Amino acid sequence: MSTPPAMLHPELLADDNPHGIFRDGRRLDHAEGASKPLRSRPEPQPRGAKVHGNRPIDQEEAAARFIAAPEHEKMHDERLWDLRQKRDREMHGIAEWEELRSLASAIKEHTLTHLDQYLEQFEDNARSHGVRVHWARDAAEHNQIVHGILSDHSAKSLIKSKSMLTEECGFRHYMASVGIEVIETDLGERIQQLDNEDPSHVVVPAVHKLRTDVAEVFAKTIGTDPANSDVHYLAEAQREATRPLILAADAGMTGCNFAVAETGTFVVCTNEGNADLSANVPKLHIASIGIEKIIPRLEHLAVFIRLLSRSALGSPVTQYTSHFRGPREGGEMHVVLVDNGRSERLGLEEFWTSLKCIRCGACMNTCPVYRRSGGLSYGATYSGPIGLIIDPTFNQRKYSNLPFASTLNGSCTNVCPVKINIHEQIYAWRRVLVERHETPLAKRAAMKAAGELLSRPAAYRVAIAAADVALAHLPRFVIYNGLNAWGRHREVPHPPKQTFHSWYQANRGGKP
Ligand code: SF4
């Protein structure tokens, strides 16, 4: 019997990582090390936020359920922090890292402020290679265009590599409604598809799952042994189950990481080579491209390629960086350029730079709220810090709670390879949502009362003194009850005997 491969994702393995988990002298890979050994009754996987039409997503409630599953929370936190540390190591290995970030930011800002010109240049050049270019105003138009192309070819099955844009468009659901089978080719995305869940992270879609969760999903859907959660066994079983579907598919679909205006070509980065399968096995290749993915010149690509994988997974480069130029012999290539709210976002003075995002996920990996609450708790296509600033542009009411799911510590901004001022935009969204009355009445009333108190120093000092006395003397049940959401997970600190203000008055007589 051949020896199983040592790991699933070589880039995730670093022998000198002090946080690595070793067994029999071997550093366990990402998936093995992050999950606990199989117990007789694995901890059930916490599910994501409950979505009720247009009603605001209760991220707090879903996060509380994730936190209440300690194995999942610990694994998720450690797994993502591991990625953050690897990213830091890669960053320290590149002396010009900050210059690269500034350059990437400048290229994106320049492109976004000349977007019409570069999009037309891309279209002309792509057409000159025989690519058929379509324009989609929104998700519905995108889905209809792709459906039309598939119908013209009597295609009934489509293999697809990971694309957040198609998630935005509700593409799989639409295709199911018109009787076309979609098969995800990215392993994590396929796990999520089989489990009927959305991706919980832009780079590692099933990162919130223990391997026992995956074993359960595969046992139900592809007939694996439910008691076997060995990652190599599971990956191989899924490969065996999916490969025949890939070989028989009528059409293939990819997303796009970067589209180069001067050449009319586009680039897809993966670690599994699955985009190449989607693009090259069937003769019909459709690529869905968000209009913000344009960069002007091929030489600019090098800047982003150096930043992308290092920021995402802490690896120097993705295993595959595939360039697509035109249809293969006897085949057809279609590109769908999708707006879906991007032009409108471009006009938002405080939020347009969120379009610089290259979907590396670094802001998610570093965010303490995201790491402890899981991506599905956001109930939106985009989660974590970038989600907090993109999601409200799709629906302010539905995602009105999200910008409050942040500590505003600024770590997201510090790691962002294209220098988006994420935490400032989160803060700006809070203001906008309050001004537009999109926040719950209780929150608005509490903020108004706090604002009144903080703007009156004398009243504030009296209130603090009264609170100190209350905290020191009131019975515990009066402080820690259902009305004190803050105290549900924390102890209120013991009040000091003397505040700095009263000490200053007593010792300096109020003089500077
Ligand atoms: S906002 Fe920045 S850090 Fe977050 S996913 Fe986008 S590019 Fe990466």
Rounded Cα–Cα distance for residues 224 and 231 (Å): 12
b/e for 5-23, b at 16 or more Cβ within 10 A?
A: eebbbebbbbeebeebeee
CB 163 within 8 A of CB 270: no
Q: For residues 399-405, give the mean pLDDT.
A: 95
Confidence of residue 484 (pLDDT cuts 50, 70, 90): confident
Which of the listed residues 306, 386, 421 should we mutate to test ligand 1's pocket, taking the one with most ligand atoms within 8 A of CB?
Answer: 386
With a pLDDT cut of 90, the percent of the chain lying above it is: 75
Q: What is the pLDDT of residue 298?
A: 97
Give pLDDT tens digits for 359-373. 999 999 999 999 999
Question: HEC profile for 375-394?
Answer: HHHHCCCCCHHHHHHHHHHH
**CA–centroid distance, residue 441 to ligand 1 (Å):** 32
Residue 82's SS3 state is helix
Is the pTM above the cut of 0.75?
A: yes
**CA–centroid distance, residue 94 to ligand 1 (Å):** 19
Give pLDDT tens digits for 302-330. 999 999 999 999 999 999 999 999 999 99
Pocket of ligand 1 (CB under 6 A): 311, 357-363, 386, 415-418, 420, 422
- Neighbour order of strands in the sheet with 320-324: 294-295, 258-260, 265-270, 320-324
Helix (H) or strand (E) holding 133: strand 132-136
Q: What is the pLDDT of residue 26?
A: 61
Task: Tell which wins on pLDDT, 136 or 458.
Answer: 136
Q: What share of the chain is helix, strand, coil (3-state, %, to 5)?
A: 50, 10, 40
Residue nearest to atom 4 of ligand 1 (CA): 363
**CA–centroid distance, residue 360 to ligand 1 (Å):** 5
* Domains recognised in the chain with CATH numbers: 56-93+362-445 (no CATH), 97-342 (3.40.50.10420), 456-507 (no CATH)
**CA–centroid distance, residue 228 to ligand 1 (Å):** 36
Average pLDDT in the chain: 90
**CA–centroid distance, residue 285 to ligand 1 (Å):** 28
> For residue 165, is it left (φ>0), alpha (ψ between -120 and 50) or beta?
alpha
Atom of ligand 1 nearest to the CA of 386: 1
Confidence of residue 436 (pLDDT cuts 50, 70, 90): confident
Give pLDDT tens digits for 196-217. 999 999 999 999 999 999 999 9
CB 424 within 8 A of CB 460: no
- Nearest alpha-carbon partner for 418 in 505, 273, 283, 300: 300
Rounded Cα–Cα distance for residues 317 and 190 (Å): 23
Q: For residues 394-423, give the mean pLDDT.
A: 96
Atom of ligand 1 nearest to the CA of 356: 7
Rounded Cα–Cα distance for residues 123 and 133 (Å): 7
Residue nearest to atom 8 of ligand 1 (CA): 360
The region of weakest confidence among 264-268, 404-408, 469-473 is: 469-473
CB 313 within 8 A of CB 111: no
b/e for 346-356, b at 16 or more Cβ within 10 A?
A: beeeebbbbbb
Task: Tell which wins on pLDDT, 16 or 55.
Answer: 55
Atom of ligand 1 nearest to the CA of 360: 8
Which amino acid does the sequence have at 274?
Answer: N
**CA–centroid distance, residue 260 to ligand 1 (Å):** 20
Residue nearest to atom 3 of ligand 1 (CA): 416
Q: What is the pLDDT of residue 509?
A: 73
- Nearest alpha-carbon partner for 355 in 292, 288, 443: 292
**CA–centroid distance, residue 407 to ligand 1 (Å):** 17
**CA–centroid distance, residue 401 to ligand 1 (Å):** 20
Atom of ligand 1 nearest to the CA of 312: 8
Give pLDDT tens digits for 277-306. 999 999 999 999 999 999 999 999 999 999
With a pLDDT cut of 70, the percent of the chain lying above it is: 91
Confidence of residue 511 (pLDDT cuts 50, 70, 90): low
Q: For residues 4-25, give the mean pLDDT.
A: 46
pLDDT at residue 117 tops 90:
yes
Q: What is the pLDDT of residue 483?
A: 76
Which of the listed residues 165, 354, 422 should we mutate to test ligand 1's pocket, taking the one with most ligand atoms within 8 A of CB?
Answer: 422
Q: For residues 108-128, give the mean pLDDT.
A: 98
pLDDT at residue 20 tops 80:
no
Q: What is the pLDDT of residue 21?
A: 52
- Nearest alpha-carbon partner for 59 in 406, 436, 431, 480: 406
Q: What is the pLDDT of residue 512?
A: 55
Q: What is the pLDDT of residue 13?
A: 42
Residue nearest to atom 7 of ligand 1 (CA): 357
Which of the listed residues 311, 367, 381, 424 should we mutate to test ligand 1's pocket, taking the one with most ligand atoms within 8 A of CB?
Answer: 311
Please, which contacts does 185-190 make with residues 24 or more away whose CB atoms are closer than 8 Å?
185/159, 185/160, 185/161, 185/242, 185/246, 185/272, 185/274, 185/275, 185/277, 185/278, 186/161, 186/162, 186/270, 186/272, 186/274, 187/8, 187/235, 187/238, 187/272, 187/274, 188/162, 189/162, 190/238, 190/242
DSSP assignment of 409-468 = -SHHHHH-TT---HHHHHHHHHHHHHHTT-S-HHHHHHHHHHHHHHT-HHHHHHHHHHHH
Rounded to 5°, the CA angle 464-470-476 comes to 135
Give pLDDT tens digits for 128-168. 999 999 999 999 999 999 999 999 999 999 999 999 999 99
Confidence of residue 83 (pLDDT cuts 50, 70, 90): very high
**CA–centroid distance, residue 411 to ligand 1 (Å):** 11
Residue 107's SS3 state is helix
b/e for 114-133, b at 16 or more Cβ within 10 A?
A: ebeebbebbbebbeeeebeb
Confidence of residue 172 (pLDDT cuts 50, 70, 90): very high
Q: What is the pLDDT of residue 3?
A: 38
Q: What is the pLDDT of residue 445?
A: 85
> For residue 35, is it left (φ>0), alpha (ψ between -120 and 50) or beta?
beta
**CA–centroid distance, residue 417 to ligand 1 (Å):** 7
Atom of ligand 1 nearest to the CA of 385: 4
Give me the phi and psi of 95, to 5 degrees please.
Answer: -60, -35
